[in-house]
Homo-oligomer: A and B are copies of this chain.
Amino acid sequence: MATRRTMRDVAQAAGVSVMTVSRVINRQPGVLPETAARVERAIRQLGYQRNDTARQLRRSGQPAQIIGLLVDDLANPFYAALARAVEDAARRQHYVVLIGSSHDSLDREREVVAAFCARQVDGLILVPVAGSHRFLASQMAQGTKVVCVDRPTAGLDVDRVLVDNQRGARDAVSRLLSQGHRRIAFLGDRPDIWTMGERYLGFQAAFAERGLEPDPHLIRHGLRSRAEAAAAVASLMEQPQPPTALFTSNDLTSMGAIDSGHAGAVALVGFDDFALADKLSPPVSVVAQDPAAMGAAAAELLFARIGGDASPPRELILSARIVARGSGEIAGPRAAPEPGPAPAAGPAPEPGPALELDAP
C-alpha cells in the first residue's frame, strides 16, 4: 500500500529542486545534460511517474487530454466498433477515454455524464438516449465540448454524426415493394429511439411513394431483444394473412427473425449489418452502416472543437448502403393492384389461402 512517488521525492534523490525535475519530465530546454541525467536516473530508480491530474489542476485552461464516450450498450458489436474507432483516434492524440453505457436510460446517461464531467473531460462523444438533454447545456457552457453520434439530441445544437436512416429504410422497403411484396411487416425496437423513428418513417415513405399503405396489423414496435423479436415474427406468421416480407429495423430484430425459423419462407431485409449475415441460408440482405467511420468522424469533430474550432455546429450525414445477399431478393406475389386495404379493424374474418411465393 506504498504511496506514490512525487516530484519532491525525485528532487531530493537527485539533489535538485522540483522545478528542475519538472523541466526534465516535460522535456523543457535549459537543463544541463548532466543534471538531466541525474534526474532521469532518480526517476528510474524511484519508478516515478508524473501525476497528470495534479498537473492538469495547475494548467487549467489547457486540455486535460481525456474524453468521455457514452454509448447505448458496449456489448453491442455496433457500438463496440464505434468505440474502438473513437479510442484509436484518441490514442493518436494522446488522449485517454472514459467509457460508459446508458442502456437507454436517461437517468443513467445523466449520471455518467456528470461523473465524466466531474473528472474534467475535455469533451464527450454521446449516443444520446431519448429525452431532454438540457442538462448538457450547463456542461457545455462551462467548456465541455459535445458531439452526438448515431442519434441527435432534441433541442441541443451540437455537432452530430448521423446516418440517413429514413432513406436507408425507404430504399430497402422500396425494393421489397418492387419485387411484388405488399404485406411487409415492420419489426421495431423502442419507437422513442430516434433511429427507430426514422426507420419507421422510411418504411412508411416507401409505401406512400407508390400510393400504398402498410397493413397496420404487420407493425410491431418495442421489441427489446432477439427473443421478443422472434416471438413477434412467429405471431405475425400465424395471422390469417401473414406477411410475405419482413423489414427488421436493427440487428437484434433481424437475428430474432432468424431465430423464429421463418427466414427463407419470407423475404427479409434488416437494418444494420452483422457478422455472418452472408453465411446464413438464405444470406441476409441488410442496410449497412459503418460504425467505425461514425466513431472516427465523431472523434474528428470533437478534437477539432477541443482544438479551438468555434464554427457553428456541424451535422455530418453518412448514408447507409444496401447489401443485397439474397434474403431480400425473394420475390413477392406478382404486383397486381391490391384488392383494397385490409378490413377496417380487427383480424380478417375469412382467412384467405396461404400466399404463394414465386420461385427465386
A residues sitting closer than 8 Å to B (CB atoms) are: 1-5, 47, 49-54, 56-57, 60-61, 64, 66, 73-77, 80-81, 83-84, 87-88, 91, 94, 96-101, 108, 111-112, 114-120, 138-139, 141-143, 255, 258-259, 274-276, 279-281, 292, 310
Question: In the complex, are the beta carbons of B138 and A53 less than 8 A apart?
Answer: no
Question: In the complex, are the beta carbons of A101 and B73 less than 8 A apart?
Answer: no
Question: In the complex, are the beta carbons of A77 and B74 less than 8 A apart?
Answer: no
Question: In the complex, are the beta carbons of B96 and A53 less than 8 A apart?
Answer: no
Q: Tell me, in angstroms, the Cα distance from A78 to B246 when the chains sit together.
A: 30
Subset of 17 A-B contacts with CB under 8 Å = A2-B143, A4-B142, A47-B142, A52-B118, A74-B84, A75-B83, A80-B80, A80-B83, A83-B99, A91-B100, A96-B112, A98-B98, A255-B275, A258-B279, A259-B279, A276-B279, A276-B280
Closest beta carbon of chain B to A107's beta carbon, Å: 12
A75's partner among B1, B47, B80, B100 (CB-CB below 8 A) is: B80
Q: Given A49-B118, A83-B74, A275-B255 in contact, is the A97-B96 Cβ separation under 8 Å?
A: no
Q: Tell me, in angstroms, the Cα distance from A50 to B57 when the chains sit together.
A: 13
Question: In the complex, are the beta carbons of A119 and B66 less than 8 A apart?
Answer: yes
Q: B residues within 8 A CB of A275?
A: 77, 255, 274-276
Q: B residues within 8 A CB of A76?
A: 80
Question: In the complex, are the beta carbons of B99 and A87 less than 8 A apart?
Answer: yes
A1's partner among B57, B99, B143 (CB-CB below 8 A) is: B143
Closest beta carbon of chain B to A248's beta carbon, Å: 14
Closest beta carbon of chain B to A192's beta carbon, Å: 23
Question: In the complex, are the beta carbons of A118 and B280 less than 8 A apart?
Answer: no
Closest beta carbon of chain B to A61's beta carbon, Å: 7
